């Protein structure tokens, strides 16, 4: 099994300046805070969904787009955002993304109807797509290759893993307190502070290769294809899976994605160079990340609806109930990042995904009078342990055997799989929920999530080889460099 390292790009002295002039701790803090904000806004509306439905008068099928619009635009433009970061400079794109994200949060907080709210969430997703690759690139040029960078990426992955659960807790506290609009308005002071810190403390960088053409056609076709694919899932639930319109949407989505592949093959500056797909470790990590995130965000989405609609929990109590998962993910993820160097990512993924799948399947039999201690808590703890082990393992394996010059591309691809997987998971599980009646629908949904997690575990088991050490100092299951 081999992993191909592409030729590194020339790095200018100004490009390397952040690594010399900015303290590494500050760069890591800014990058992790940005990652947390992106993850929080993916999950923060879950508990608020019933309140949004009531206040804005929207149906169950339409309200899922408050989540899907954000995740879809984020996932669709991550690779394009990484290219912009290379072309125009990390600091500039990082700050621009923060400004767009903050402005869209204000619009979402004052939205008078569902249409404006969904549009604002889409703009938020685009801003986040600029922030994420720029943040990862800042880490890549600040920390030396090897254990130092590996620990930084491990911590970054841990923050990303816990941010979703923190978002659910924060959503419950805000929805049960000042109201669901504050789930968006709270981003305004946070975003303003981060913009100020970035402008003051991050050195101006000027990336080389400014003459390389941006792959606008590739970004447009892949985003359009993914948008149509998720919409087809939503459309099929309400119009039938065998209807002409549903099949037409699926056909259009596949057509756009095929065009994207053809554009990439001919482009002089493709979003994803063809050599990337010859890195088996990277490919397996991304497929596993897609399935795992699909299951995890669907778990949060359906779990929040279960507690409020089937078990009668208030938004505040729902947020507090998620604390078991939140409090578990971060310490387990930090330990998991260290264990990856000892046992490798393959065992961590197998154990983590199996635990998570078991937690979801446990909820597939919850009774109508289910209690927190005996029915919800075991599943929430299993989910926290499971995803805590998976987060850093996926981050490390996706970057194994990748040169510093290509770290942004590899990270952007991983984040794309995570975000699109989350959006697709929410759409798919909402479809499964509608197919059932009452509590039976929730049982079907959690069973579906459990199967997704077990499929991700099977992918990791087959795709990763056993016990091979990477150059970065951690076992990744078969990654080697070719010089």
Q: What is the pLDDT of residues 348-376, one digit of tens each?
A: 999 999 999 999 999 999 998 889 999 99
- Residue indicated by tokens 């899976």: 241
Residue 215's contacts (CB-CB under 8 Å, 6 or more residues apart) are 80, 83, 263, 264, 267, 269, 270, 271
- Residue indicated by tokens 């869209």: 104
- Give one word for 23, left, alpha or beta, with left for phi > 0 and alpha for psi -120 to 50: beta
State the pLDDT confidence band at 49, using cuts at 50, 70 and 90.
confident
3-state secondary structure of 356: helix
Residue 179 clears pLDDT 50, i.e. is over it: yes
Residue 228 is predicted with a pLDDT of 83
Mean pLDDT of 16-34: 71
Give domain limits for the chain. Answer: 3-215+267-482, 216-266
- Of the two residues 87 and 138, the one the predictor is more confident about is 138
Count CB-CB contacts under 10 A for residue 214: 15
Asked whether the CA dihedral 271, 274, 278, 283 is positive or negative, the reply is: positive
CA angle 253, 257, 262 (to 5 degrees): 150
Mean of all residue pLDDT scores within the chain: 80
For 273-297, the pLDDT digits (tens) are: 777 778 888 899 999 999 998 999 8
Mean pLDDT of 93-113: 94
- Of the two residues 207 and 378, the one the predictor is more confident about is 378
CB 452 within 8 A of CB 443: no
Output the pTM of the full model.
0.77
State the pLDDT confidence band at 109, using cuts at 50, 70 and 90.
very high
For the structural domain made of 3-215+267-482, what CATH number should be given?
1.20.1250.20
Asked whether the CA dihedral 101, 102, 108, 112 is positive or negative, the reply is: negative
Mean pLDDT of 448-453: 95
């Amino acid at each position: 099994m081999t992993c191909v390292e592409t030729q590194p790009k020339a790095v200018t002295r100004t490009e390397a300046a952040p690594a010399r002039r900015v303290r590494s701790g500050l760069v890591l803090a800014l990058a992790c805070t940005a990652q947390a904000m992106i993850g929080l806004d993916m999950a923060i509306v879950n508990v608020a969904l019933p309140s949004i439905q009531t206040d804005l008068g929207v149906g169950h099928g339409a309200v899922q787009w408050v989540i899907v619009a954000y995740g879809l635009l984020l996932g669709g433009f991550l690779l394009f955002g990484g290219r912009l970061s290379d072309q125009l400079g990390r600091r500039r794109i990082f700050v621009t993304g923060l400004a767009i994200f903050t402005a869209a949060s204000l619009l979402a907080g004052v939205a008078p109807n569902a249409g404006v709210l969904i549009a604002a969430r889409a703009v938020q997703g685009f801003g986040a797509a600029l922030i994420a690759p720029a943040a990862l690139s800042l880490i890549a040029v600040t920390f030396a290759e090897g254990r130092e960078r590996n620990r930084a990426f491990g911590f970054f992955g841990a923050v990303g893993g816990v941010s979703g659960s923190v978002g659910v807790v924060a959503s419950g506290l805000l929805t049960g307190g000042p109201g669901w609009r504050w789930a968006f308005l709270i981003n305004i002071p946070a975003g303003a502070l981060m913009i100020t810190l970035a402008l003051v403390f991050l050195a101006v960088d000027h990336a080389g290769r400014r003459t390389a053409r941006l792959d606008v056609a590739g970004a447009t076709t892949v985003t359009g294809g993914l948008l149509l694919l998720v919409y087809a899932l939503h459309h099929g639930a309400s119009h039938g899976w065998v209807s002409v319109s549903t099949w037409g949407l699926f056909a259009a989505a596949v057509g756009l994605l095929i065009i994207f592949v053809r554009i990439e093959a001919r482009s002089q500056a493709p979003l994803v160079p063809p050599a990337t797909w010859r890195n088996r470790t990277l490919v397996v990590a991304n497929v596993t990340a897609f399935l795992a995130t699909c299951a995890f965000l669907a778990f949060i989405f359906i779990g929040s609806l279960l507690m409020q609609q089937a078990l009668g929990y208030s938004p505040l109590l729902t947020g507090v109930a998620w604390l078991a998962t939140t409090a578990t993910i971060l310490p387990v993820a930090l330990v998991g990042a260290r264990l990856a160097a000892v046992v490798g990512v393959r065992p961590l993924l197998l154990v983590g995904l199996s635990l998570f799948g078991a937690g979801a399947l446990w909820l597939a039999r919850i009774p109508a009078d289910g209690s927190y201690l005996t029915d919800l808590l075991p599943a929430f703890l299993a989910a926290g342990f499971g995803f805590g082990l998976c987060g850093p393992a996926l981050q490390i394996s996706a970057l194994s055997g990748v040169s510093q010059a290509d770290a942004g591309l590899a990270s952007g691809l991983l984040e794309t799989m995570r975000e699109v997987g989350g959006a697709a998971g929410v759409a798919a599980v909402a479809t499964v929920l509608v197919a059932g009646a009452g509590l039976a629908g929730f049982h079907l949904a959690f069973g579906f999530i459990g199967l997704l997690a077990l499929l991700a575990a099977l992918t990791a088991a087959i795709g990763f080889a056993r016990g091979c050490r990477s150059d970065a100092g951690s076992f990744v299951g078969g990654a080697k460099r070719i010089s």
